[in-house]
A and B are shown apart, each in its own frame.
Chain A
């Protein structure tokens, strides 16, 4: 089972183009499909990963590993997730100067890929919660606050947590 978890994160590491939010959609799909986390556990993991310092995808890998296999799991899962970028960077260091890549075109194509992957993430974050009106209300409120009022994301997350505490705990 621990092997299954590590291999899943290793695989996702290779597709982790575009950084954090681009991979969360794939991560969610894999975690829930393979029965590693339930939908609610995944949403808790996302909240914790976002509130803790550090890249969200690494935090998710660490958290999921810890959740099941304690400190060892956290360590192994984090390493597995970062193995792909480490290997690829090593290859780039080795090849640098020998081949020339049209970097502008390459990164422009990848931005298209990133757009799709972030769309997948948005879709997968909303899909199981679409029946919950409060979730959509808070999400729209957050989007408005960050886009128009430029409020710091951490403040927004904390404020929405308090709203959630009230809405789901008291009402």
Chain B
């Protein structure tokens, strides 16, 4: 989705390459879907706060109605054995795709001690499986960040 957005933004003269990457990097560092955040940043650049609002709404509307349409059709079908099999097969494919995302993340980043600590802490949290620890984990991360540990 991001490359398409970049292409359109350039074609329409909304932002040049540097500006787009600046918007994208901010979009990636805040929580929330990256495509949604990027749309808001680009909207702000083009037309201020109203632009940001409209861009945010516009990027969500098509998937929203697509999901509502699919969900209303799939409900009566979800007991059909072939439909269930189809969805199970898709689910298995998704596992493979997400593993590929994980593999890419491991491969493309520079591994510092700080990062190994973060990842190790995360894996420990995963084993403990206690979601209350996630804010604590984020707190430690912020502390280390502002202390300037490299």
Contact = CB atoms under 8 A, between A and B. Distances in A.
Interface of A: 13-21, 24, 26, 29-30, 43-44, 46-55, 57-59, 62-63, 66-67, 71, 74-75, 78, 82, 84-86, 88-89, 92-93, 103, 105-123, 125-126, 129, 134-147, 153, 156-169
B66 A53 contact: yes
Contacts of B105: 111, 114-115, 118
Place the interface of chain B in its size category.
35 or more
Interface in B48-62: 49, 52, 56, 60, 62
Contacts, number: 289
Given A54-B62, A88-B31, A109-B141, 8 more contacts: A13-B31, A47-B90, A49-B67, A50-B97, A55-B33, A85-B33, A103-B26, A160-B89
Nearest to A58: B33
B7 interface: no
Given A62-B67, A147-B103, A142 B28 contact: no
A48 B87 contact: yes
Interface of A is mostly: helix
Nearest to A85: B32
Contacts of A19: 28, 32-35
B93 to A, nearest CB: 4
